[in-house]
């Protein structure tokens, strides 16, 4: 049943209309049909797919990742879907470790800075200007 307009679809999926159009331009979503007037019509399958895309984006999957997941879901390849999620999880873990390292570096610099005085003696600026700085 293709009875939803683009606005209704977007609202039910919790996204903006421009987001629906963006996913269409990137071949992640297609209307179920069109009216004689040219207006797009969507059904439950498109709503389900749009929600899938939104949730996958919220978990950090890129559009390319999502395209792959959608292909795998069509194939019903659970092992490959799990593998893709494991790869994404490893990437998230790596980014968290990097952010924690950055946080500790910044914390050290902030503690070392008195917050007053001349710029030449600022420990933050000196650390950033150091030749051995990462």
Q: What is the pLDDT of residues 82-129, one digit of tens each?
A: 888 899 999 999 999 999 999 999 999 999 888 888 888 888 888 888
| The pLDDT value given to residue 132 | 66
Cβ neighbourhood burial of 18 (10 Å; 0-12, 13-18, 19+): exposed
pLDDT value at position 70?
87
Q: Residue 48 — very low, low, confident or very high, per pLDDT cuts 50/70/90?
A: very high
Report pLDDT for 134.
58
Count of alpha carbons within 13 angstroms of residue 130, beta-carbon side = 10
DSSP state of 2: E
pLDDT of residue 119: 82
Q: Determine which of 35-39, 69-73, 74-78, 101-105 has the lowest per-residue pLDDT on average.
A: 74-78
pLDDT exceeds cutoff 60 at 3: yes
The answer to whether 73 touches 61, Cβ cutoff 8 Å, is no
pTM: 0.69
pLDDT of residue 36 exceeding 90: no
pLDDT > 80? residue 74: no
């Amino acid at each position: 049943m293709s009875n939803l307009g683009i606005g209704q679809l977007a609202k039910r999926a919790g996204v903006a209309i421009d987001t629906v159009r963006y996913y269409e331009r990137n071949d992640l979503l297609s209307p179920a049909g069109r009216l004689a007037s040219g207006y797009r019509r969507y059904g439950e399958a498109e709503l389900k797919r749009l929600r899938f895309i939104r949730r996958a984006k919220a978990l950090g999957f890129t559009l390319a990742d999502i395209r792959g997941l959608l292909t795998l879901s069509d194939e019903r390849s659970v092992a490959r879907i799990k593998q893709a999620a494991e790869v994404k999880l490893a990437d998230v873990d790596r980014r968290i470790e990097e952010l924690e390292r950055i946080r500790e570096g910044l914390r050290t610099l902030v503690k070392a800075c008195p917050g007053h005085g001349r710029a030449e003696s600022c420990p933050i600026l000196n650390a950033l200007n150091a030749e051995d700085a990462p």
